[in-house]
Structure 1
Amino acid sequence: MTGRSTGLATPTTGLHRSRPAPPVRIVHLGLGAFSRSHTAWYTDRAVDAEDWGIAAYTGRSAALAAALSAQDGVYTLIERSAEGDRPEVVESIVRARPGDDVAGLLADIAAPATAIVTLSITEAGYRAGADGLPDDGDPLVVADRARLAQLEAGDSDAALGLQTVLGRLVAGLDARRRGGAGALAVVSCDNIPDNGGHVARALLGLAASVPLTAEWCEQNVSFVSSSVDRITPRIEPDEMACLTERYRDAAPVVAEPFSDWVLSGDFPAGRPAWETAGARFTDQLEPWEARKLWLLNGAHTILACLGVVRGHTLVSEAIADPVCRSAVERFWDDAEPNLPRRLGIAGYRRALLARFANPRISHLLSQIAQDTTTKVRLRIVPVAERERAARRGAAGCAGALAAWLVAEDEASASVAGVRDRIERVSTSLAEDDEFVASVTRALTLAR
């Protein structure tokens, strides 16, 4: 499979398909490297891949959509291990469109053939408050509510001005209802606990501005939760230029060899045979979700906080530092008793250490460190709260919170100062005198 490209910003002919493009039956919101290393990859590897094409919409990048469009949606996934690179061409994306192509998005969601909408838009993309409902203090949410109300009143052009991802999804489902296209599944692939429930609350809350569509969604849309586990680092410009030249690909993706995808929920209009590509389906997603969120993502947060303070740039550098590794393992020691043994926690921990140490995955700590407070609340705090409820010390969690405070340059030697900062992520932990004292002591070691 050959082609030419001068780089992401100025794509030329790109790659070519080796087989006819499959019909579009999946719409993806949030096209980027992460989605292309899991959702699109699993779909391409499924035994029935010829029946399941993807129409994918970027968040903001028109350049990525242009690059992929120039090469028929085809791209190279490079699995990078210590032994070398293994390239694989992925052909499941049929259309790549910029996020502002609202008309195209509405048409794709409303199409009778569409059975699934998948999302990887990050937690911020849901624009939800602490209660999971749309944040009505967000100007974009307020504006979209007004436009959706116009839609209810019969002004179909109002949908073209929608600015939020979920606002556009509601409009697409409204068009689907009006066209009688039938039920579908919405699948969240974001690192959020109960992500299917999260998108359901936010979307139905916004759909309340279009009452008939809100009622239709409750009866015809299933919300599937999933846990995705695959490290997909951002490619820096110099490396992108090298990969573009080597693989003649304007939009390559680099990922680790390890991959895991666990899903829970119904697919009323069908789905690809993702299990033939290695995905798992379960009625109990929460343990799998917690394993990944606490052990992988929690460790990443600790490494991003403590590693940067200790002068490291990459995950592989930080995990090689005995201080950083010890902090991760002590947190894992706290997390492990709160996870079922049947998930193979000991083996997963060993695999994570090897994955983090992979010297050829250049995973920047600065990339992981974005929005650290939210990540601490989702990845560290649940373990600490469970450990304290079980009357255990939670020393590993205390060390993780101390690393966060140092990284945020908010470390205070006073118990009162520490308590105030813990209050930002957990009221119960802030009221726990013994735990607050433990975090205060750990600050000395984290500095």
Structure 2
Amino acid sequence: MPGSTDRPPVRIVHIGLGAFHRAHQVWFTQLGDPDWGVAAFSGRSTRLAGTLTAQDCRYTLVERGPEQDVHHRMTSLVAAYGADRQDELDRLVASPEVAVLTLTITEVGYADPTAPRRLVRALDARRRSGAGPIAVVPCDNVRANGARARSALLSVADRELARWIGDHVSFVDTVSDRITPATTEADIAGLGGADRAPVVTEPFAEWVLAGEFPAGRPAWERAGAVFTDDIAPFERRKLRLLNGAHLLLAMAGLGRGHGTVADAMADPMLTARLEEYWAVASRRGVPDATAYLRQLRTRFTNGRIRHALAQISLDAEHKLRERIVPLVEELLADDVDPAPALRVVEDWLVHTGQTTAALDRLAAGWAADTRLHLNGRCRS
């Protein structure tokens, strides 16, 4: 329980309780600074929070490499709450012990005012308590996620609270990476069934952060986190080379009967397309692209990580807007053939049965310019 003698005090509050959070932010915190406890809140449901609470929020993290598993007993998550526990969210964020508020609300979460309103109410509780400054650290796959979170919160805050947020809340930009498939019943059974909330993830983990922490932070760098003054090159590398590649494999791979990333990587046609995509996606502004791509090929072919293409395809339109649209626009501006990137959009149109009119939702003025590049396969 929070505050018990064998668990660290809550100093981080998280919104978006799920497998990725427990494989990433909790993992970095436990390895980097185990004196910092995390309290996490579900984005929508209450089921997972109840499961974790029943087992004192302790769970097994399974690092699944190509040949073997390594098990970690996770103890830095000290409290889990359902989305209905706004009162507890307000109380914790208002505590002077809490210094960091992390988020994994996904791309769609920024368009839905529900999560921002929950956060604004909690920040207002902190303002009224006089607890002082706090850092908001979003960990979602969107460009400039710190600025995105700030804009979302200010859009639903009243004038007085908006002024307080401007003076007391920092927003940290991040790049967060660790392939973490949804936990299955087979994963639970493989651990004997007693742990009902294990997390299976790959050995690789990356966290890059840029911003201020006015109330302090854990020593995440001890676990390998990188602090930088310029997040843009890391953001560009991850969104384009990893996330964009995942969309390519999902949109094309599902149509060819593949179920996972590793399955799709065994398809020579798809890997040829992937290499063409990577060639244009890494042409400029991507640090250490050769080494990063070598690492991605190894990660993507790890058949023991069953990263479902259907999971990747969820909310594909939002993901395309973040990961593919900027690349296509850049290639067109540089007079470089955008076909390797546009094929991802083409496959989305075919996979979802959309017409080319859907391109207008992705980028203003795109449809006429891009139909010429889509090989005549998309319906207009």
TM-score past 0.5 threshold: yes
* Match of residue 360, structure 1, among 304, 329, 353: 304
Counterparts of 1:205-244 in structure 2, within 5 Å, are: 205-208=155-158, 211-244=159-192
Coordinate RMSD, CA, aligned: 1.9
Contact persistence 1:430–1:436 (CA under 8 A): yes
- AA in 2 matched with 1:109: V
- State the distance in 1 between where 2:300 and 2:5 align: 36
> 2:146 aligns to what SS in structure 1?
helix
Q: TM-score, normalised by structure 2?
A: 0.95
1:358-437 → structure 2 map (5 Å cutoff): 358-410=302-354, 418=356, 420-432=357-369, 435-437=370-372
The one-letter amino acid paired with 1:439 is: L
Provide the C-alpha distance between the structure 1 equivalents of 2:216 and 2:365, rounded to a whole number of angstroms. Answer: 43
The equivalent of 2:66 in structure 1 is 82
User: What's 1:72 paired with?
Assistant: 56
- How far apart, CA to CA, are the structure 1 residues paired with 2:358 and 2:106? 25
Deviation at 1:272, TM superposition (A): 0.3
Identify the residue that residue 165 of structure 1 maps to in structure 2: 115
Q: Residue 375 of structure 2: SS of its match in structure 1?
A: helix
- Contact 2:90–2:122 (CA under 8 A) maintained in structure 1: yes
Does the CA-based 8 Å contact 1:43-1:49 persist in structure 2?
A: yes
Contact between 2:188 and 2:195, CA under 8 Å: does it hold in 1?
Answer: no
SS in 1 for 2:328: helix
Q: Measure the CA separation in 2 of the matches of 1:85 and 1:358.
A: 12
Structure 1 residues not aligned, in runs of 5+: 1-17, 129-140, 142-163, 411-416
Structure 1 distance, partners of 2:13, 2:202, is 25
Task: Determine whether 1:349 maps to 2:293.
Answer: yes
Aligned to 1:27, which of 13, 23, 29?
Answer: 13
Kindly state the Cα deviation for residue 244 of structure 1 after the two structures are TM-superposed. 4.5
The answer to whether the Cα contact below 8 Å between 2:260 and 2:306 also exists between their aligned partners in 1 is: yes
Matches within 5 A, 1:14-413: 20-46=6-32, 48-50=33-35, 52-128=36-112, 141=113, 164-208=114-158, 211-245=159-193, 248-340=194-286, 343-410=287-354
Aligned counterparts of 1:24 and 1:428: Cα–Cα separation in 2: 48
How far is the alpha carbon of 1:73 from its aligned partner? 1.7
Q: Deviations over 1:312-333 (max 9, x none)?
A: 1111111111111122211111
Q: Secondary structure at the match of 2:175?
A: strand
1:338 and 1:383 in contact (8 A); partners too: no
* Residue matched to 1:15: none
Match of 2:156, SS? Answer: helix
Take 2:55 and 2:190, find their aligned partners in 1: how far apart are those partners? Answer: 18
Pick closer, same or farther for the CA change 1:421–1:96 going to 2, 3 Å: closer
- After superposition, the C-alpha distances for 1:103-135 in whole angstroms (9 at most, x for unaligned) are 11100000011101000011222235xxxxxxx
Distance 1:307 1:334 in 2: 20
In 2, Cα distance between equivalents of 1:113 and 1:19: 16
Amino acid aligned to 2:375: T
Deviation at 1:428, TM superposition (A): 4.4
Q: 1:440 and 2:375 equivalent?
A: yes
Distance 1:270 1:334 in 2: 40
The answer to whether the Cα contact below 8 Å between 2:107 and 2:318 also exists between their aligned partners in 1 is: no
Give the distance between the partners of 1:62 and 1:332, measured in 2 at CA.
Answer: 40
Give 1:236 deviation, angstroms: 2.3
AA matched with 2:320: V
SS in 2 for 1:55: strand
Decide which moves more: 57-66 or 77-86: 57-66
How far did 1:393 drift?
1.0
Q: Distance in 1 between matches of 2:121 and 2:263?
A: 46
Take 1:183 and 1:301, find their aligned partners in 2: how far apart are those partners? 38
5+ residue gaps, structure 2: none
Whole-angstrom CA distance in 2 between matches of 1:126 and 1:401: 22
Distance 2:46 2:152 in 1: 26
Q: Residue deviations 1:144-199, cap 9 Å, x none?
A: xxxxxxxxxxxxxxxxxxxx222121111111111111000000001111111111
Q: Distance in 2 between matches of 1:76 and 1:332?
A: 35
Residue 96 of structure 1, CA deviation:
1.1
Does the CA contact (< 8 Å) of 1:73 and 1:91 recur in 2? yes
Pairwise CA distance, 1:339: 2.2
SS of residue matched to 2:283: helix
Structure 1 SS opposite 2:361: coil
Secondary structure of 1:49 counterpart = coil
Aligned partner of residue 289 in structure 1, secondary structure: helix
Identical amino acids, percent of aligned pairs: 46
